[in-house]
Each structure stands twice: as structure tokens, then as C-alpha cells.
Structure 1
Amino acid sequence: PEHADKVATNVESVTTAATQSTVETVKQSIDMIQQLQQKGINLLLDYGPKIIVAILLLWLGFKLTNFLCKRIKKIMVRREVDSSLVPFIIQVISIVLKILIILSVISVIGIPMTSFIALLGAMGLAIGMAFSGTLSNIAGGVVLLVLRPFKSGDYIAAQGTEGTVKSVQIFTTVLITPDNKTISIPNGPLSSGTITNYSLLETRRLDINIKLAHGVNASLIANDILNIINQDQRVLREPEPVVLTQITESSLTLSSRVWVKTENYWDLHTILSKNIYQYLFDNKIDVPIVKM
């Protein structure tokens, strides 16, 4: 019996100690939760209103920026600003205004501007090194905006492709190809490379080369081709159309050189080539090959 009493006493003491330890642990956990809750409440009371104000300011600021950009775009269209440059200008204005709004909101929240500017400078340096190509495209867009080697609607060739200019954006210039494909060329390489503008001048020279076999009457054919060319009223009389003859060992080439208005270039190229080919076919002139 004495042994049983001792065992019971030991079990009771162990149980009591375990219970007290559990109670202490629970109390500490409750105290920690209460402290965290109090800190959360304090942070919410301190920064909650500022965060709400910051969100409202950002929302209103971005809304106002979009409204101003739309108004500026309408004014630029009304004043007939080159439509290819409008997207670029609007994008730059939008980015600048949004950056100013973000800086203003940060100031309202209470973040020291000196620390933020230092952080922003470091981030800007890192981003600039990581995205040097992107920054060069922005700089290229500015160069295109200032020099204006082309405008919306011009037909250009650059960077191994060609098409009609649709717009100059902040990173790329958009072209529409003759078969209705959209091509985006980065502004950096475009501004530093060779650009051929087929629409800049009012007139262009249309060359049509006709390769013939030896033994034909070149003088007669040249006169007939000139007559075909002069029948179209869209062909300019000054400079006067000419047909030049070049003789090689394998063939004889007649080169028609005709000056036309730029907007008529492709239509006349198709029509004159067709009419010249039909003339050669009707007169059974040996193996004509008409090419540009």
C-alpha cells in the first residue's frame, strides 16, 4: 500500500507539472497573438488611412492621365500632326505623368523622398544595364521623332523589310506590308540603319527592262514601246521617256525609263509591263522577258 501511495503521488505531481507547463505555454501563445494583433491594429491605424488615400490618388491620377492623353491626341489629330508620331508622343506623356503621380503618392504616404530617390537611382542603373537594348529603342524613337525620315503612309524599306508606315511607337515602328502583314521594327536599329523612303519625293523613275534575242529590229521596237508609254496620260512628259539599248553576247536589252508621280508608280508599272508584253506577243517578237 505504501508503494502504491508513492506511485500515485508521483503521478499526481508529474501531471500537475505538465498541466502547469501547458497552461504557461498557452498563456505565452495568447500573449504573443494579442501583441501581434495590437501591432497590426497600430499599423492599420497609422498607415491604413494613408494607404487608402494613396490608392485613391493613384486611381484618380491614372484616370486623369488617360483623360488628358485622349484630349491631347484629339488636339494633335485636329492640328494634323503626323499620325505616325502621335502614338509615340502620347506614350511618352502618359509614362511621365504616371511617374510624377507615383512620386507624389509616395510623398503623401510619408516615405522620405531622398531615400526613395537614392533607391530609384540604384534601381534605374540596374534596370538600365539589364535593358540597354530597350533604352536604345526609346532613344531611337526620339531620333526618329526629331529627324522625321518618314511619316505615316510613306512606303519605306529598312532592316531587310519594307512596307507602309503605320505608326512610330515608343519601342518600335509598325509597317504594313503589301500583302497586309504587320511588321514591328525596333526603333534603335531602325534609327541607326539605312532607310529608303520611296514616298518622300513627288516623282519616281519607273524602269522596265525588256530582254530580247539578237536579230530583231531594235529601233522599231523601241519606237513602238515609246508610243505605248506615251499613250498613258499619267506618264510625265518632263523628263521625257526614253528607251535605251544595251547589247551583250547573249541578248539585247531595251531599258524603258519613265518618270511618274509617286502615287502612280505601282499602277503604271503593272499596266505598262502588261501592255509592252502584249505588244511583243502580238508581233511574235522572239522570247521576250519583261522584268523590273
Structure 2
Amino acid sequence: MVLNSTNAFTWNDVLGFLKDIVFKFGPKLIIACIILYVGFKVIRFLCKRISILFEKRNLDPSLRPFLMSINSIGLKVLLILTVVGYLGIEMTQFTAIIASAGVAIGLALSGTLQNVAGGVVLLVLRPFRVGDYISAQGYEGTVKSILIFHTTLVTTDNKVVTIPNGALSSGSMINYTQMETRRIDLEFNLAHGIDLDCVSNAIIAIAKQDKRILTEPDVVVIPTISQLAISIDLRFWCKTGDYWDVLADMNKQVYDYLVREKVALPYSKIDIIKQA
């Protein structure tokens, strides 16, 4: 139906035009909505099946969330393109619309695209994996997941930290659990006048009694003498998984030894000279 070209058209003309639109495109819109609804259900089912397949194939946990995000986004884009084609919108026109908005979208999503590229870099270079304890961007925690846009950490006090992949891939980080062994440095300040050899040998003996402490490299003590105190730096190696337990136990054992043997500790003092 065509509206009258004159200004004197009636409401019947308007209603007739709207009816033509509804009858012409209404069924297709309804079917398109049904296709979208069913399609999203199917995509969710496929993603679950793919996730189960990844687990059966023992795929690296670091790769699973990232690949699942790519699969989900790719399938949804394919579904939308299918619906657009069903509605009769020519792909050339659709592509032209997307291209015309590409500059604005690119500027708006520049940071997001950088995060996607950063996620790819992280998965290719593998500076860390899920389960590693890292320090990056001012935060420390265990890596929980590496997603397409960001990486999540869980801190020691059970907080979840979200770090964009772009910043994570381009910044500095420390991976505390990548190596199999770690060195522990314990520093104790003692008073002047102590038997340095006796105390050093006793502390080394305490460390060697712990089976979790490795014999290679050997346990060493490095003394440093200053005006206020004698500083003893005890260095030894252990497996990365035992780090925190060994650190706590050795601190307690050395402290108990110093108290038991009444080893003098340094105290701040001020010398006052009274002149007549």
C-alpha cells in the first residue's frame, strides 16, 4: 500500500501502511526471534560439551577459559549473521553499515582490543598459568583464570582482583611459583659481644634438621656488623610448595633458640654526657 502523496491523508491510510509492514515483516521478525532464542540455547549447550571435551583431553587450565570465550563469541556472531541473512538484509549493505561505524567502534573499543591482544600474548608466551602465585600491577595473588579480556587473581585474604590483559602483558610481573625451588632469607639482629661462630653454627644446625630444607645449595649464614648490632642473614633453599610453612617454622625455631640460650638482642640506647 502507498500513502497518498498529498498532505490530506487519513488515519486509515496510516493504519493500512502499518498493517502492510506488520504482515510483510512480522512473521519474519517472530521467526528471527525464535531462531535467536533457540540458537543461544544451542550455543550454551555446545559450549558445555566443548568444556567437557577440554577436561577429558586434559587441556591446560590456562587455555580453557580463553578458548571458551572465543568459541562462545564466534558462535554468537555466526548466529547473528544467519538471522540478518534470513531477514533479507543483504550482506553488502550490512557490511557497509558495520564499516561506516567501524572507526567509531574501533576508537571506543581500542582498549578492549588491546586487552584481547594481551590475552593472546599471555597464552602464547606463558609467563604464568592458572594456579601460579604472581605479583603484577601492584597486586599479589593466585591466578584463578585467564579470560579473553582480563585475568583474575585471588589474594591471600580471599579477595578477587581483575587485571586487564593489556596492562598485564605489557607490564612487569613476578612469578613466585614457576620455579621448583625458592630461597628463604631470614635476618636476625643480635647485640655486640655474642659468640658469632657459636650462634651461626647453632642456627645452621636448626635449619639442617628440617627435612624440607634442601641440602643443595647448602645452608649459609652471612653476618653483617654495624654500629648498633650484628645482623645474621640465614639463607637456605626449599621446594616452592613448602615456602610459607618452612618460613614460619624456621622463624619460630630460631627465636626459641635465641630465647632459650639467652642470646643478647640489640636495644636502642642514648648516651647522655653530663658536663660540669
**2:189 alignment counterpart:** 211
2:117 aligned to which of 139, 155, 161: 139
The AA in structure 2 aligned to 1:209 is: E
Q: How big is each residue's C-alpha offset from its partner over 1:20-43, in whole Å with a ceiling of 9 and x where there is no partner? A: xxxxxxxx9996221112111111
Question: How far 1:150 moved relative to its partner?
Answer: 0.8
Displacement, 1:288?
Answer: 6.5
Per the normalisation by structure 2, the TM-score is: 0.90
Q: Any idea what the Cα deviations from partners look like across 1:183-227, whole Å, max 9, x if unmatched? A: 111111101011211111111111111111221111110100011
Indicate the larger mover: 206-215 or 122-131: 122-131
> Which of residues 256, 265, 269 is equivalent to 2:243?
265
Q: What is residue 63 of structure 1 aligned with on the other side?
A: 41
SS of structure 1 residue aligned to 2:10: helix
Is 1:86 the counterpart of 2:64 in the alignment? yes
Residue 82 of structure 1 and its aligned partner are, at CA, apart by 2.6
Q: In structure 1, how many angstroms separate the alpha carbons of the residues matched to 2:86 and 2:99?
A: 20
Q: TM-score, normalised by structure 1?
A: 0.85
Quick one: distance in 2 between partners of 1:124 and 1:210? 62
Q: Deviations 1:93-137 (Å, cap 9, x if unpaired)?
A: 111111111011101101111111111122232111023212211
Counterpart selection for 2:139 from 152, 161, 169? 161
Instruction: Give yes or no for contact 2:40–2:76 (8 Å, CA) kept in 1.
Output: yes
CA contact (8 A) 1:206 1:257 kept: yes
1:253 is matched with which residue? 231
Per the alignment, residue 120 of structure 1 pairs with: 98
* Cα distance in structure 1, aligned partners of 2:219 and 2:48: 50
1: CA distance, partners of 2:119 / 2:101: 23
- SS of the equivalent of 1:285 reads coil
- Quick one: which of 42, 52, 58 aligns to 2:20? 42
**Which one is further off, 247-256 or 153-162?**
247-256
1:128-157 Cα offsets, whole Å, 9 max, x none, are: 102321221111111112111111110000
| 2:192–2:266 Cα contact (<8 Å) kept | no
Q: Which residue of 1 aligns with 2:149?
A: 171
Distance 1:147 1:121 in 2: 33
Q: Distance in 2 between matches of 1:245 and 1:95?
A: 59
Contact 2:29 2:87 in 1 (8 A): yes
User: In the alignment, is residue 286 of structure 1 matched against residue 264 of structure 2?
Assistant: yes
Establish whether residue 191 from structure 1 lines up as the match of residue 182 from structure 2. no
> What amino acid is aligned across from residue 252 of structure 1 in structure 2?
I
1:230 equivalent in alignment to 2:216: no
1:108 maps to which residue? 86
Distance 2:221 2:82 in 1: 70
Contact persistence 1:84–1:165 (CA under 8 A): no
Give 1:85 shift: 3.1
Output one character per residue of 1:58-112: Cα deviation in whole Å (capped at 9) or x when no partner: 1121111111111111111222223233222211211111111101110110111
- Contact 1:156–1:163 (8 Å) recurs in 2: yes
Equivalent AA in structure 1 for residue 89 of structure 2: I
Which amino acid counterpart does residue 52 of structure 1 have in structure 2? I
TM-aligned CA deviation for residue 162 of structure 1: 0.6
Q: Which has the higher helix share?
A: 1
Distance in 1, matches of 2:65 and 2:101, equals 27
- The count of corresponding residues between Structure 1 and Structure 2 is 262
Q: Retained in 1: the 8 A contact 2:229–2:266?
A: no
Amino acid at match of 2:101: M
How far apart are the structure 2 equivalents of 1:76 and 1:275? 46
Q: Which amino acid aligns with 1:140?
A: G
Deviations 1:232-265 (A, max 9, x none): 1111111111111122232211111111000000
Q: Give unmatched runs, 5+ long, in structure 2.
A: 1-5, 268-276
CA distance in 1, matches of 2:24, 2:240: 69
Name the SS of the counterpart of 1:224 in structure 2. helix
SS at match of 1:234: coil
Two-structure CA RMSD over aligned residues (Å): 1.8
1:53 aligns with 2:31: yes
Classify the secondary structure of the residue corresponding to 2:116: helix
